[in-house]
Amino acid sequence: MSSTASGKNGTWRNWGGNVSARPAREVTPASVDELAAAVRQAAEDGLRVKAVGTGHSFTSIAATDGVLIRPQLLTGIRKIDRDAMTVTVEAGTPLKRLNVALAREGLSLTNMGDIMEQTVSGATSTGTHGTGRDSASIAAQIKALELVTADGSVLTCSEKENPEVFAAARIGLGALGVVTAITFAVEPLFLLTAREEPMPFEQVLADFDELWAENEHFEFYWFPHTGSTNTKRNNRSAGPAQPVGQVKGWFEDEFLSNGVFQVANWVGRAVPATIPSIARISSRALSARTYTDIPYKVFTSPRRVRFVEMEFAVPREAVVATLRELKTMVERSGLRVSFPVEVRTAPADDITLSTASGRDSAYIAVHMFRGTPYQRYFTAAERIFTAHEGRPHWGKVHTRDAEYFSQVYPRFGEFTALRDRLDPERRFQNDYLRRVLGA
C-alpha cells in the first residue's frame, strides 16, 4: 500500500507514519487546466492548497486542512529532446517510472537519491539528493519548470525565462506554487561499477578526503555501537555490465537489508538492550561485493523497513569533526540506535534554498525504526549539527525555524521576497512553512 492512501475518514498519513492531516477535500486533477481551476476554486472557498506526492517526507511539509492535490494523473513523459538532451515530465511521475522509461530510450539522469518511490516534483521540491563529488541533487539537474501560482495562472521558468523564479522554484518547498511539469537534463545511458566493502570507522574518517576525491560517488554507513562502516563507491565504467545475480541480489538486498533487518528492528524495539549486539552482527552481515549496471540499478535500492529520519548538510570540511562528536554523543548517552548513520556529499549549487547552496556539503543522516522514540537521539544530534551551521533536509525531521534559516542561508531573504510576490495571500501556506519561512 502506498503512503498516499488515505486512512479512515479522509485522514492522510505520510510514509514514515509520523505525520497525519485531515484535508477539507482532495482533488486529483487530470490536466494542468484542472489543477489551475482547483487552485482558483480553493481561493474562492477561502481554503489553502497543498500538493502531496508519495508522502516520503518526514516533516509536515505537505500537510493541510484545506485542499489536498494529488498528482497521480499528471504522470508520464511529455517530451524528449535529443538535441538539447532534456526530458520533460509531468510532476506526478514517480522517479522509478522515469528511470525505467529513460533507460528504455537509452538515457539517464546523472545522479539520483537511493529511494525512487517519490514523485519527481516531491523529490525535487524538498531537495532530495544522492551523493556526488561533481554531480549534485536531483533539483540541480532541472533545466525548466512549469508551475501553477496562487492566482491560478501557469508560470514557466528556466535560466532564460523568469530566472529569479527558476533560482528558487527548483527547491520551492511547495511555497511558490504547484509544480506541474519539470524538464531535466539527461545524458546517454552509462554504466556504473559499485564497490561495496566494510571499512573501520576510524579509517574512513582518516581517509575521507581521499575517498571523496578519488570517487565520483562515495558514501558510507556507520553502525552506532560499533567501530564499523560499510562503504560504497560508484564510478563510471566502460563495461561490460555485470549485474548482481538474482539470487544473490535477493539475499543481500531483500533478505538481509530488508527482511532480517526488519526482524532485528522488531527485536530491538521490544528489547532495546539487544541493539548493540544486533548492530555488531548487522555491521558484519554485509560482505564486500562489486557489480556493474545502469545507473538507477546501482544508485537506488528498496527500502521496505519503515523509519523516521533527520538529515543535516554541514560544510564538507566539517564532516569528520561532526561525525566524531556524534559517535561520542551516542557512546555517552546510553541511547540504543539500531539504524546506521548515512554519510554522503554534494558540490555547491546555485539554488536559493538548496542544502548545498553556495557551499560544498556533506550530509549526515540519522534514522530510528518507525514506532521507537526518536526525540532524544534526534535532539542531541541536531544540537551537534547546528553547531556546525548545519542545514536540515526540508523533508526530514528538524526543529529549525525562519530565524535560524536566515542565518545559515545567505539568500534566504531572496526566497521570502519572491514568495511575497507570487503568493501574497499565502494560498500555499501550512504550519510547516509558517515555521520555516516565517509568517
CB 386 within 8 A of CB 403: no
pLDDT exceeds cutoff 70 at 26: yes
Concatenated DSSP letters of 15-52: TTSS-EE--SEEE--SSHHHHHHHHHHHHHTT--EEE-
439 vs 319: which has the higher pLDDT: 319
Q: What percent of the chain has pLDDT over 90?
A: 81
At 235, list the grid cell.
564510478
* pLDDT for 309: 94
pLDDT exceeds cutoff 70 at 252: no
Cis peptide before 410 (omega within 30 of 0): no
Q: Place 320 in a pLDDT band, splitting at 50, 70 and 90.
A: very high
Q: Place 115 in a pLDDT band, splitting at 50, 70 and 90.
A: confident
Under 8 Å CB-to-CB from 224, ≥6 apart: which residues?
279, 327, 330, 335, 337, 340, 341
Q: How far apart are CA 170 and CA 183, in angstroms?
A: 11
pLDDT exceeds cutoff 60 at 8: no
Mean pLDDT over each residue of the chain, to the nearest integer: 92
CB 145 within 8 A of CB 158: yes
Instruction: State the average pLDDT over residues 15-19.
Output: 89
* pLDDT for 371: 84
Instruction: State the average pLDDT over residues 220-239.
Output: 94
pLDDT exceeds cutoff 80 at 267: no
Q: Place 1 in a pLDDT band, splitting at 50, 70 and 90.
A: very low
pLDDT exceeds cutoff 70 at 187: yes
* pLDDT for 280: 74
Instruction: State the average pLDDT over residues 361-366.
Output: 98
Q: What is the pLDDT of residues 79-97, one digit of tens each?
A: 999 999 999 999 999 999 9
Q: What percent of the chain has pLDDT over 70?
A: 91
* pLDDT for 328: 97
Q: Place 3 in a pLDDT band, splitting at 50, 70 and 90.
A: very low
Among 360-364, 370-374, 379-383, 401-405, the least confident range: 370-374
Under 8 Å CB-to-CB from 365, ≥6 apart: which residues?
309, 310, 311, 341, 342, 343, 344, 393, 396
Q: How far apart are CA 89 and CA 36, in angstroms?
A: 18
* pLDDT for 347: 98
* pLDDT for 370: 84
* pLDDT for 4: 43
Among 9-13, 24-28, 109-113, the least confident range: 9-13
* pLDDT for 10: 83
Under 8 Å CB-to-CB from 341, ≥6 apart: which residues?
221, 222, 223, 224, 323, 326, 364, 365, 366, 367
* pLDDT for 25: 95
Concatenated DSSP letters of 130-193: ---SS---SGGGEEEEEEE-TTS-EEEEESSSSHHHHHHHTT-TTSS-EEEEEEEE-EE--EEE
